[in-house]
Structure formats: structure tokens, C-alpha cells
Chain A
Amino acid sequence: MSWYTLAVRGRAAVTLTESLIAIFLLVGAMTVTVILFHGATRHTTRTDQAVAGVTLAEKTLAWVRNWAATPAGSGMNFDDWSSVAGSTRTDPDYPGFQIRIDAERAVLASPSTAFEDPLVVSNPRLMSASFYRVRVRVSWPGDQVELLSLVGDPYRRWAASGAIQVAPGGSPLLGPGATQAFTASGRDAGGRIITDLFFDWYVQPETSNGTVTATSVGDSATFTNAIYLRLPSGATQTRYASQDGTCTVKARAVYGGVEQTSGTQVTLDVP
């Protein structure tokens, strides 16, 4: 006997209680569906917040770079991070988001380290004052995102004159085998010392000649009134100038693609 027949005859069918139970089951299923909808919407919102957070962090990082390259006094903002490092900010375009900026000095090796390696393997050329490691943390209720990047010292033009200064000047007089220490520094258009310049030293012979050796970074060098010859046997022979004469000890540096050279003359005495 079919269900329809039973229902029509009133002997077997769904009772009110059974219907209510069915409705409750239906309500349960609908509730689960609503929860899923709600979860999807919540995750979409969270994704949207995360995208907005990353965008805000990138925007802040771009602002930091621009801030660092903005002139301040005779230098640039890059010279003094005290107003930015450790600061918190908000952006009116991103309500509910909190920004924190942290900055610390970063020490990097010269970009040409591999090329220079045979010369400076024990004392690599390091740049200790040209970079800041900047961390931008954007937080909002429930989550946060961090961006980490290096911000470099902005380009400053060479000083129009006296861009490189070699000290001491004044043509020192050196006897055979005597040494003289020199230092070199570069200055920008504002008269400030350009940090982390690498200097290459050489001797420009005139009526005499000598030898100069420099530190790996090249900020200081030592000139010796002697010539060291490498013999075929591998031994080194020391020779001194045979007559009084002069030569110039020079330091050279490249900055922003522009090379500058400066030197000081030394007078060599015969034995």
C-alpha cells in the first residue's frame, strides 16, 4: 500500500510532531548555510584588510624613502632619523590601521666585494653609515603585516671645489725609507663629509717615485719613500730614489658616477 493511499485513508502519514522535527532539521541546515556565508564574508573582509594593510605599508615605505631624500638644513633627513625611528602614525585614508616605523643602521659590504675579494679578503670594504634597515608594521584589529627594506643614503652632489681632501698637505720632506700617513675624505655640495666613500690611492711619479699602501676602504694610506721590486726569483728588492725629487700621492673616488681625484705632493730626499 503506497504512502499516498495511507495518507488519504488517514491511517499513516506525517504527524505535526514529525513535521516540526523536519522543520527543526531544516533550520539547522539553514543555520549551517548562514554560518558558511558569514564565514565567507568575514574572510573576504579580512583579505581586504590584509591587502589594504600591505598597500598602506608600501605607501609608508615610499614615504620614508621620500622623507630620507628630502633636504634638511645643509644635509638631508637621512642624517637624523630620530623623528621617524620608533614613531607611530595613522593615515586618514586607512581608518583603523596603525603604523609603526622602526629603523636601525645596517652594515653592508661593497657591491664589488667578489671583484675586490683577492685584495680585501681579510678586511672587506664595509659601508656602515649608508643604509638603514627600515621596518614598517601596519596593524589593525586582529592582524598585522610587516615590510622590511633597506633605505640608502640619498645622492648628494660633489662639492664644486675641494671635493676630495687629502691631508696633510704641504709637500712633506721624506728621507729614504721614511713613511708618511695620509687621510682622504670627500665632501658634498653642502660641505658635509660623504660617508662610506671608497678611495683608491696611487702615486703619480714626477721627478721621483715612491710606494703607497692603503686600507681596504682607502680612507687612510701610508706613503713610503721606497720602490719595491719583485725579482724573478720571487724575492723583493728595495730601491731608493737616486736623486732628490717629487711625486704626488693621489686619492681617487667615484660617487654618483662622477670621479674626483685629489692629491698632495711629497718631496723625496736621496740617501
Chain B
Amino acid sequence: MKAFSLAETLVVMLLLGSLLAVFGAVVGGYSRVSRFLGQKDNALQATLLGLQTMRAEAAEAVEILDPPAGSTTESAELRLRKVDPLAVDRLPETVPPAVWLPHRTLVTVRYHVVGSDLLRESVGGTGLVARGCSGIGVRYAGPASLEIFLSTTEETRVRRLSSQVILHLPTRVVP
């Protein structure tokens, strides 16, 4: 039994090298795909979170400021007024109340996108709702319902998710 000749060594090295090159390319490809899927998943989760948050708050709204009522165009932000959860003057002073104004103290809430951040702006300041959103659109889907769009960018493709929410404005429930 003898060791490799030079030719044999070269053959083995060539085979091994080719194999490692192919394997490296495959692993590199999977790594890129995995990174892309991860980013896509994060962006999708962020968009869904943003949609869910906006839907919940829009359903609480007493008044929608933007888009303005009756508007058919799409607005680049959602601005609404809702009952201030921290205000206690909405509670009746006597039972039965002589005058009850549950919507007396309101706060304004604004959702908009800056860069890739969906921000919520209110009296308490500005907070980050979701990161990875590239655009926002809000329009009336019906007389008392909104359709909210949130976009996310997946490399070169822009994905736009939307959801509808029924408004429970006091003017609609109690004329």
C-alpha cells in the first residue's frame, strides 16, 4: 500500500474543492433566503400589529378627523378623537344624572408613518407602534366604516395589507 501520487492528490483536492464550493453556494443561498424570509416575517408581523392597533382605536373613535367625513380620497394618516380614558368627568355626578355628557373630554390620536416607523401621536407624546411599515392609507369604505392600508417593503416588492373597521360614532348610534 502506498500514499497518494501527486495526480491522485490533485484529483481528490479538485473533487473536494468542487464539493465545498457547491455546498458553500447552497448554504449561502439558503442563508440569504432565510434572512429574506425573516425580514419578510418581521415586516408582516409589524404590519399586522399596526393594522390591529389602528382598527381597535378607530372602533373607539367619537369623531374621525382625517380622512374628513364624506371624503372619497385616501388619506396618508389616521386622526381621530376618542374619550380620554384618564378623564373622570365623563362619569355622572348624580344618579340619575341631570345632564350626562360621556363624550365631554376627548383626546386626539394621530397615526402616521415616518420612514419605516408607524407612529402614534397623542397628548402623552409620540410612540412607536410598529417598525417596518413603509406607507399608510386610510379611506372611507362606507358611510360608517374605514378601510386602513399598511404597506411593507419586501426587498423590491411593496406589499399592501388592508382591513376594514366599523365605526361606532355617537352621532351614528344616537342621532
Contact = CB atoms under 8 A, between A and B. Distances in A.
Interface of A: 7-8, 10-16, 19-20, 23, 26-27, 30, 33-34, 37-38, 40-41, 44-45, 47-48, 51-52, 55, 58-59, 62-63, 65-66, 69-71, 93, 155, 157, 256-258
B57 interface: no
21 contacts: A13-B1, A15-B4, A16-B8, A19-B8, A23-B15, A30-B19, A30-B23, A33-B23, A34-B23, A47-B41, A48-B40, A51-B44, A51-B48, A62-B165, A66-B166, A69-B144, A70-B142, A71-B143, A155-B173, A256-B174, A257-B174
Interface stretch (B64-72, B129-137, B155-163): B155-163
Main secondary structure of the interface of A (DSSP, over half): helix
B142 A59 contact: no
B12 to A, nearest CB: 5
Contacts of A48: 37, 40-41, 44
Nearest to B147: A66
A12 B12 contact: no
A10 B12 contact: no
B145 A66 contact: yes
A16 B12 CA distance: 8
Contacts of A41: 30, 33-34, 37
A12 B45 CA distance: 61
B11 interface: yes
B174 A258 contact: yes
A13 B4 contact: yes
A59 B37 contact: no
Interface string B1-33: 111100010011001100100010011001001
B75 to A, nearest CB: 18
Given A44-B37, A51-B44, A37 B143 contact: no
Contacts of B19: 23, 26-27, 30
Nearest to A92: B160
Interface in B120-175: 141-145, 159-166, 172-175
A10 B3 contact: yes
A9 B143 CA distance: 93
Given A41-B33, A69-B144, A16 B4 contact: yes
